[in-house]
Structure 1
Amino acid sequence: MTTKKQLKRALLAVSVSLASFTPFAFADYTIFYNAKGYTLKQDKGVHEFSTLVIKDGKVVATGDKSIISTYSPAEKIDVEGKTLLPGLIDAHGHIIGLGKNQSQLDLRSSSSLKDALKSIEEYANQTDGWVIGRGWNQENWPSKAFPTAKDLDAIVNDRPVALTRVDGHALWVNSKALEIAGINKETQAPSGGEIIRLDNGEPSGILIDNAEPLVYQHMPSVDKTEVNKRLDAAGEHLLSLGITSAHDAGINNLTYQVYLERAANNTLPIRIYAMLSATDSELTKQLAAGKKFDDNDMLAIRSIKVYSDGALGSRGAALLEDYQDRIGHKGLMLMSKDELENVFTQAFKAGFSVNTHAIGDRANRVVLDTYEKVYAKSGGKLLRNRMEHAQIVEPSDIKRFKQLAIIPSMQPVHATSDMHMAEDRLGKARLTGAYAWQTFLKQGSRVAAGSDFPVELANAFHGLYAAVSRQDKDGAPKGGWLAEEKLTREQALRAFTLDAAYAAHQEFKIGSLEKGKWADFIIVDTNYFKAPLSDIYHTQVEQTWLAGKLKYQQK
């Protein structure tokens, strides 16, 4: 029989035992050990470590196993010798567009017009109303010719079809869509746009750049529920690829409102650096509302996205000389010099950075001239303004990026996707200064790297591979295309982490695993720094951690 005294002693023993045991839920620290860890440090190169210590979502320390005993009580997680890297930052993408792509017709893989039409017909048979999709690229078809409305009419003629080119700078529509938009032989293209025409002057069914909204304005509208759905889909996909932060290159007012609401409720799936769209009708009100941030650094809105020209694939990029494969055509400037100057001035006065889409050498020069002119009048040079893409730059203009403190925000996969087409458009002699990542770095510019998803796939390891190889996934061409512009592995990772963070004014918060920064990191199946080059392309993300919380686990 147990006495009261014995029971009291037993309870005391249990209480002492519980006091000495700290379950993981109440641990002060979380320690990841037995890792092949790599991070970049500000101006100090690559730092290797085997142990990462985090607390309250932020990095406390990195080092070898000797530091484990310093931090207690702690939850300990064995990384099992796998590679641990900082969370990747995509410095140029379109988040809601990526989410939209997850649920609509995707023509990226079509290898011919016939192949594309087969996919369109199958999709149309399963849907009602408008047939909407994206991803076609005539450069991947044997003919390399733009398709026509007549091609689409053969399979869908009773309802409108609207299919955006892979780069977003051309729209392929059928006759029903042309009819709804009121586009005919007499219709004049808006400034900065082109209606491609048949020999008889009738619209062919291809609308370039500023002509696209002639149809877009008639398409079904999107509400907040749909934007939230696309955001969640995109966030889930990006986390599975190890992307913990993305720069959203041009958001409309509806997306602006959704981002603010989700940040306030702490429900954003990834970190977002959002650029207001210079073409949005609410821009003046958005600038007047000031820069937007949240306490957890999940959202930052402090810049605008300006569009100066089109894309090379649709021959909308503005060039100094004629396109080699379309004599008499130099591309399209989407905004006049006065319009560029006015929107730059408006943004700088509100304290917002200006990130300008410029692909062709003429567009890059005009935009550089505009930055220089507006700086002299309104200031703004210290705002870390950016040139988005900076693909074809006249060599004498490259040094102006450094002089004007313009960050080249570039997408390595564009070089390997465009290399054959770029030579067709420009000829080899005009490719000096094209996709010139190493040249920019050598002069002291920081390159912020991204993918331009959903134009390209969002996989940052494809970008890292392209950056260091200048080759396609099959290893062509041997030695790399314009190989003098290759990056080292360290330079490439910096462009997708620290320098991408710098381009968003966030280098002291994210981009590397240093004390006091958010614990955004990934665990992957490939040793990025030591594996064969081709293995980088095929890297798989096994875990993604955001602010010290597991957000993705490979199944």
Structure 2
Amino acid sequence: MTTRTVLLRGGTVHSPADPFATAMLVEGEHIAWVGSDGAAESYAASADEVIELAGALVTPAFVDAHVHATSTGLALTGLDLTDCTSLAEALHRIAGHASVNDGVLIGHGWDETKWPEGRPPTLAELDGAAAGAPLYLSRTDVHSALASTALRELTEGLAGLPGYDGHAPLTRDAHHAVRRAALAHLTPAQRRAAQQATLARAAELGIAALHECAGPDISSEEDLAELLALAATTDGPEVFGYWGQLAEQGGVETARRLGAVGAGGDLFVDGSLGSHTACLHTTYQDAAHTGTAYLTAEQVADHVTACTEAGMQAGFHAIGDAALTAVLDGVRAAADRVGLARVRALRHRVEHAEALDDKAVAAFAELGLTASVQPAFDAAWGGPDGMYVQRLGAERAAGLNPFAAMLRAGVPLAFGSDAPVTPLDPWGTVRAAAFHRTLEHRISVRAAFAAHTRGGWRVLGRDQDGVLVPGAVASYAVWAVEELVVQAPDSRVAGWSTDPRSGTPGLPDLTPGLPLPACLRTVVRGRTVHQA
């Protein structure tokens, strides 16, 4: 079969092979050449398609390193409370959704810390708004949920589970149980429609690949299998699955059977700060406890050992400082068993990794761990009046998400959204890292962009991808942009430069308040999956 060639010219190509490139040639699934418009003339006559960029920017497409596709799609197409500004508005929106939908209702995104009432709805209020229907509503962090009386009655053995409360939101095992009960009532058509919505939205935003973080507590084997099959048989972003289950529970074998690339992702060592379930060394400022520990260091060590011996990447969800201590102690113990080099070679990953001090950052670098992080968390909950300060106080909150320290130590970063926790929004994610609410944690736009493109490929072991150079996979995006700049981390150094003599490829100006770039085209392995 003849390989199709596409020539793009007349724009700016973000490529380390040529910082002044204005054109790019794609042959089949790979980039064949980058260079100037003048040199591109020799390819124009023989190309199957010539795309006139008209000044647009071409970059590697983004990789979102942590998503939940079905839940994201359900929020995109159904009941989404993320922008509700009050409890009253949330109840009104629930009632409207219930009035036009049958069966089990599923929604997401409530956050009582942003409401003037300062509380979630009572069970009676929830039942009233849902008109007696079974209703599952995950909190914005997806570590607690509201469940109506009808859904609670559908969930076998609920009252005896850890995290159960007869009136308040559910956490821990009780939350997992009502979520499983709700998702079990999705039809295959509903699940497929939700997954398609997520893939389509990702393509619209210039995202070429998603890391799906699945597991028995957060989705199901069926859900992951159907998503991977959908991605493999339709044009759209690539999907790489992670299955969050311990090896001793069959996690490695299940991951392999499902076609997942790792036994990790949302393998919970703790919960979240918003739900008071992140595991801390000292008590919360607004609660008289230290959160919830789901796994011990010994369990972490056993899992990493088994995964390493099986040649499979492991990974853990860990947010609080005590949870991260358990992960680091466990990974170090596994390295003592099987050898540090073998552990480092698999690039085991930690999701979220928010409460890292300097000692923990150094341990990440020593053990070769990748930090799969979500800068939008800081944009949503950081700052002097944010949820982080409410939960931890100003001093501890200021230490969260230390991206600059991680980069200085050589810790690999892979950026994601944890959608639906925060939306699919790659340029917004890059902006959130570059304009972190804590000044000393800011990184350059260039470093943040690399973490959201090449970083997502490197954690998969595909070091050659995520960059526009000859021989690389042709997964790229085309953007409508204004001025390109080289933007520095903060005001302590030169803000930015537009001097082409710097030899540094420019990126859009992401200063807060300015519009984000609009995606004109997304291409995955040489196939156009979105065109504005």
| Interval of TM-score (by shorter of Structure 1 and Structure 2) | 0.7 to 0.9
Q: CA deviation at 1:68?
A: 1.2
Task: Show CA shifts across 1:323-378 (max 9, x none).
Answer: 0011x211111223443333333322221111211111111111111111112113
Gaps of 5+ in 2: 485-506
Q: 2:70 aligns with which of 88, 92, 96?
A: 96
Secondary structure class of the residue paired with 1:49: coil
Partner of 2:479 in structure 1? 524
Q: CA deviation at 1:216?
A: 2.8
How far apart in 2 are the matches of 1:433 and 1:339?
27
Task: Output the aligned Cα RMSD.
Answer: 2.5
Letter matched to residue 521 of structure 1: Y
Secondary structure class of the residue paired with 1:542: strand
Task: Show CA shifts across 1:503-553 (max 9, x none).
Answer: 111221x21111111111111122552536136653211111122222111
Partner of 1:362 in structure 2? 322
Note if contact 1:148-1:204 (Cα within 8 Å) is conserved in structure 2: yes
444-453 vs 154-163, which moves further: 154-163
Partner of 1:427 in structure 2? 393
Note if contact 2:252-2:312 (Cα within 8 Å) is conserved in structure 1: no
276-285 vs 448-457, which moves further: 276-285
Kindly report which structure 2 residues correspond to 1:103-114, keeping only aligned pairs within 5 A, or say none. Answer: 103-114=77-88
Partner of 2:433 in structure 1? 467
How far apart in 2 are the matches of 1:436 and 1:110?
29
Q: 2:193 aligns with which of 229, 235, 245?
A: 229
Q: CA deviation at 1:57?
A: 2.0
Secondary structure class of the residue paired with 1:54: strand
Partner of 1:503 in structure 2? 459
Q: 1:371 aligns with which of 314, 331, 338?
A: 331
Note if contact 2:142-2:421 (Cα within 8 Å) is conserved in structure 1: yes
Q: CA deviation at 1:143?
A: 2.9
Partner of 1:73 in structure 2? 46
Cα distance change of structure 1 residues 181 and 551 upon mapping to structure 2, 3 Å threshold:
closer
Percent identity, please: 23
Note if contact 1:87-1:242 (Cα within 8 Å) is conserved in structure 2: yes
Note if contact 1:465-1:536 (Cα within 8 Å) is conserved in structure 2: no
Note if contact 1:307-1:356 (Cα within 8 Å) is conserved in structure 2: yes
Note if contact 2:95-2:131 (Cα within 8 Å) is conserved in structure 1: no
Partner of 1:283 in structure 2? 251
Letter matched to residue 64 of structure 1: S
Cα distance change of structure 1 residues 207 and 402 upon mapping to structure 2, 3 Å threshold:
same
Kindly indicate whether residue 528 of structure 2 is the aligned counterpart of residue 550 of structure 1. yes
Cα distance change of structure 1 residues 491 and 507 upon mapping to structure 2, 3 Å threshold:
same
How far apart in 2 are the matches of 1:95 and 1:277?
15
Note if contact 2:12-2:20 (Cα within 8 Å) is conserved in structure 1: yes
Q: CA deviation at 1:384?
A: 0.5
Q: 2:14 aligns with which of 38, 63, 86?
A: 38
Note if contact 1:91-1:449 (Cα within 8 Å) is conserved in structure 2: yes
Letter matched to residue 67 of structure 1: A
Letter matched to residue 409 of structure 1: S
Kindly indicate whether residue 115 of structure 2 is the aligned counterpart of residue 141 of structure 1. yes
Cα distance change of structure 1 residues 551 and 438 upon mapping to structure 2, 3 Å threshold:
same
Q: CA deviation at 1:32?
A: 0.5
Letter matched to residue 352 of structure 1: M
Note if contact 2:299-2:330 (Cα within 8 Å) is conserved in structure 1: no
Kindly indicate whether residue 180 of structure 2 is the aligned counterpart of residue 204 of structure 1. no
How far apart in 1 are the matches of 2:511 and 2:461?
31
- With the length of structure 2 as denominator, give the TM-score of the two structures: 0.87
Letter matched to residue 526 of structure 1: V
Kindly report which structure 2 residues correspond to 1:282-321, keeping only aligned pairs within 5 A, or say none. Answer: 283-287=251-255, 289=257, 292=259, 301-305=261-265, 306-321=267-282
Secondary structure class of the residue paired with 1:495: helix
Gaps of 5+ in 1: 1-24, 197-202, 293-299, 471-480
Task: Show CA shifts across 1:146-193 (max 9, x none).
Answer: 332122133335332221111110111223333443678xx4443xxx
215-224 vs 515-524, which moves further: 215-224
Partner of 2:205 in structure 1? 241
How far apart in 1 are the matches of 2:93 and 2:229?
37
How far apart in 2 are the matches of 1:226 and 1:288?
26
Q: How many residues are treated as equivalent by the alignment?
A: 494
Q: 2:417 aligns with which of 419, 443, 451?
A: 451
The structure with the largest alpha-carbon Rg is 1
How far apart in 2 are the matches of 1:387 and 1:213?
21
How far apart in 2 are the matches of 1:57 and 1:180?
49
Partner of 2:177 in structure 1? 214
Note if contact 1:246-1:271 (Cα within 8 Å) is conserved in structure 2: yes
Q: CA deviation at 1:286?
A: 2.3
Cα distance change of structure 1 residues 465 and 117 upon mapping to structure 2, 3 Å threshold:
same
Letter matched to residue 420 of structure 2: P
- With the length of structure 1 as denominator, give the TM-score of the two structures: 0.83
Secondary structure class of the residue paired with 1:387: strand
Q: 1:83 aligns with which of 57, 61, 73?
A: 57
How far apart in 2 are the matches of 1:390 and 1:154?
39
Note if contact 2:98-2:131 (Cα within 8 Å) is conserved in structure 1: no
